């Protein structure tokens, strides 16, 4: 079960990030029909299919990983000793990681390309074509940073695992073994960073998240501050009043 979970969850995380990248790409599209696919119903369905697929895909780990007696009274839980199976596990994990990382990079590039098209248009035409809310922009930036951090910190462990499987039959010197162990332990530490970095990413990147966190802390001590939606609505109303006032002044001058 330990090996099964250790394979399943590291694959689910980038899969969900990829689905989130697809959602951001859909919602940043200027096509109305395309934007309709960005919905909670489709998100729940996609995540359910994704989880079911990876649960079934890694069933072989429950079969091939066994408890064996290495020495008298010394038990070890490890993979099947067949070299072909070790190659399959190592290279399939490496291929899946690279494929998911590549998908995340491509989706983020297309999403930011859509954002650049939106911002390149004049403010008067944005309402006629398509505009994203500030919340959508901030979620897109947070997701991009999450994708980058996951890619940078997860690839070293996959490379280390593939290298150890490819050189498992070679005799190592004590120095080579110490170097391999150090790199493997160091890459394992890096691999765990993306799983605990989301809170810090949202704190640094998202102004709305910082405001809501501040609002929650102040609420605990009994101080109420307006939500960011209320502040944006107040600023928008103030902007409309200024525009109407300017129009009235111009009209009087023309008269």
Res. 126: pLDDT tops 60? no
Across 45-54, 91-100, 244-253, least confident range = 244-253
Residue 228 pLDDT class (50, 70, 90 cuts): low
Do 95 and 13 belong to one domain? yes
| Cα 182 to Cα 193: distance, rounded to the nearest angstrom | 17
Cα–Cα distances in angstroms (integers) from residue 144 to residues 105, 111, 128, 140, 188, in the given order: 9, 10, 27, 6, 23
% of the chain with per-residue pLDDT over 70: 80
Do 120 and 78 belong to one domain? yes
Do 6 and 45 belong to one domain? yes
Q: Structural domain of residue 209, as residue ranges?
A: 2-224
Do 230 and 116 belong to one domain? no
Task: Name, in order, each residue with C-beta under 8 angstroms of 158's C-beta and a sequence gap of 6 or more.
Answer: 93, 94, 97, 98
| Cα 111 to Cα 96: distance, rounded to the nearest angstrom | 22
Do 77 and 91 belong to one domain? yes
- 31: CATH: 1.20.1070.10
pLDDT at 247: 47
Q: How many folded domains does the chain comprise? A: 2
Do 141 and 251 belong to one domain? no
Beta bridge partners of 78: 66
* DSSP label at residue 121: S
pLDDT in tens, 129-168: 455 677 777 888 888 888 888 888 888 887 887 777 777 6
Do 32 and 156 belong to one domain? yes
| Cα 104 to Cα 48: distance, rounded to the nearest angstrom | 19
Do 208 and 243 belong to one domain? no
| Cα 91 to Cα 89: distance, rounded to the nearest angstrom | 6
**Sign of the four-CA dihedral 99, 102, 106, 111:** positive
**Sign of the four-CA dihedral 124, 229, 47, 153:** positive
Do 151 and 245 belong to one domain? no
169-188: average pLDDT? 84
pLDDT at 154: 83
Do 68 and 104 belong to one domain? yes
pTM, 2 dp? 0.72
228-235: average pLDDT? 58
pLDDT in tens, 71-115: 777 777 777 767 788 778 878 888 888 888 888 888 888 887 877
Do 25 and 50 belong to one domain? yes
Question: Bigger pLDDT: 179 or 79?
Answer: 179
Do 43 and 81 belong to one domain? yes
Res. 214: pLDDT tops 60? yes
């Amino acid at each position: 079960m330990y090996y099964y979970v250790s394979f399943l969850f590291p694959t689910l995380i980038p899969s969900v990030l990829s689905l989130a990248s697809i959602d951001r790409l859909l919602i940043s599209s200027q096509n109305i029909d395309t934007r309709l696919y960005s919905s909670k119903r489709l998100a729940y369905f996609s995540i359910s299919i994704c989880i079911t697929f990876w649960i079934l895909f890694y069933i072989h780990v429950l079969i091939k990983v066994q408890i064996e007696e290495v020495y008298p009274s010394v038990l070890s839980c490890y993979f099947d000793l067949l070299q072909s199976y070790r190659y399959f596990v190592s290279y399939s994990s490496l291929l899946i990681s690279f494929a998911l990382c590549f998908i995340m990079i491509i989706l983020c590039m297309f999403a930011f390309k859509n954002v650049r098209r939106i911002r390149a248009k004049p403010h008067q035409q944005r309402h006629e074509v398509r505009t994203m809310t500030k919340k959508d922009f901030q979620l897109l930036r947070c997701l991009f940073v999450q994708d980058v951090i996951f890619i940078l910190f997860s690839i070293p462990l996959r490379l280390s695992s593939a290298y150890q499987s490819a050189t498992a039959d070679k005799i190592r010197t004590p120095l080579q073994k110490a170097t391999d162990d150090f790199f493997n332990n160091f890459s394992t530490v890096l691999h765990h960073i993306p799983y605990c970095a989301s809170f810090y990413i949202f704190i640094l990147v998202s102004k709305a998240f910082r405001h809501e966190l501040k609002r929650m802390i102040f609420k605990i001590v009994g101080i109420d501050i307006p939500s960011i939606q209320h502040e944006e609505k107040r600023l928008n109303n103030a902007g409309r009043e200024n525009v109407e006032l300017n129009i009235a002044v111009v009209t009087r001058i023309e008269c």
